[in-house]
Amino acid sequence: MKGLRLSRIKELVEHNIIETQEDLAEALRKEGIDITQATVSRDIKELMLIKAPVGDGRYRYALPKEQNPVFSHSRMSRMFQDSVVAIDSSENIIVLKTMPGTAQAVAATIDNTKWPEIIGTVAGDDTIFMVVKPVAAVPDVIAKFRDLLK
């Protein structure tokens, strides 16, 4: 079932303007695929969908240009420089503010670095929350992020 769902998501975003997770969920439901918003979110992350501009300040989901993107330091640095506008933290949570529509792509890149001190990320449209463990690692993670912005 998951393979079919992921295949349909790829087809839908290639041939339709899908702007939100709810739009994607509704398109899947119309095709008889029962899905929750949480599953849509996980599928978007797994497929590494990106938000591409469609004009008028609107964005749509799209497949990455490379089907097997390499998560290199230089790619991550470019993504941070193009997308991240602020970094802040509280205790063991780091918050990244991004340009609208880019948070999920940045979060996916962070997740794929597999840094052991980052437990996980949650991304909205322009904000990423990430949990860092232990708390003492937060300054080091922020320093790595700031280096990517240089």
pLDDT single digits (tens) 86-127: 999 999 999 999 999 999 989 988 988 888 999 999 999 999
Q: Edge-to-edge, what's the strand order for the sheet holding 84-90?
A: 84-90, 93-98, 127-132, 118-123
- With tokens 């089907």, the residue in question is 67
- Give residue limits of the domains in the chain: 2-62, 73-148
Q: Provide the CATH number for the domain formed by 2-62 in this structure.
A: 1.10.10.10
| pLDDT for the residue numbered 68 | 43
The reply to whether domains 2-62 and 73-148 share a CATH topology is: no
pLDDT for 1 beyond 70: yes
Entry pTM: 0.55
Contact 51, 60 (CB under 8 A): yes
CA dihedral 90, 94, 99, 101 (to 10 degrees): -120
pLDDT for 21 beyond 80: yes
| pLDDT for the residue numbered 95 | 98
- Alpha carbons 54 and 56: distance in angstroms, whole number: 7
Pairing of strands 84-90, 118-123: unpaired
pLDDT for 70 beyond 50: no
Fold of 73-148: Gyrase A; domain 2 (3.30.1360)
Q: What are phi and psi of 143, to 5 degrees?
A: -60, -40
